[in-house]
Amino acid sequence: MLTCKDFLTELNDYLDESVDRELKVKLEQHVTECPNCFVVFDTTKKTIKIYKGIEPQVIPEDIHSRLMAALHKKMAAGKGYS
């Protein structure tokens, strides 16, 4: 029997349709029986569909610069946690 943790671990491959037939059947059974995993699966699938339909947007240079500075600051701060 598949657990929710197992389902979430395999979700990416399941959505990419790269799991073997036996695992696919187990994942489908789990998602039909588990409302929480169904919500995660359904929301993720819809998000991917929306994302694929969106045209790339150009970020204004000032926002790009601020974003990159914030990311560099966050990454530098995180190096002490290794």
When pLDDT is cut at 50, 70 and 90, the band that residue 82 belongs to is very low
3-48 per-position pLDDT tens digit: 999 999 999 999 998 999 999 999 999 999 999 999 999 999 999 9
Q: Which amino acid is at 73?
A: K
Q: Does 52 score more than 50 pLDDT?
A: yes
Which pairs count as long-range contacts for 52-55, CB under 8 Å and 24+ apart, including other chains? none
Q: Whole-angstrom Cα distance, residue 35 to residue 4?
A: 10
Q: Which domain holds residue 62?
A: 4-81
The b-or-e profile of 51-74 (16+ CB within 10 A means b, else e) is eeeeeeeeeeeeeeeeeeeeeeee
Reduce the DSSP state of residue 19 to 3 states and report it: coil
pTM: 0.63
Q: What is the distance between the alpha carbons of residues 36 and 41, in angstroms, rounded to a whole number?
A: 9
Count of structural domains, the chain: 1
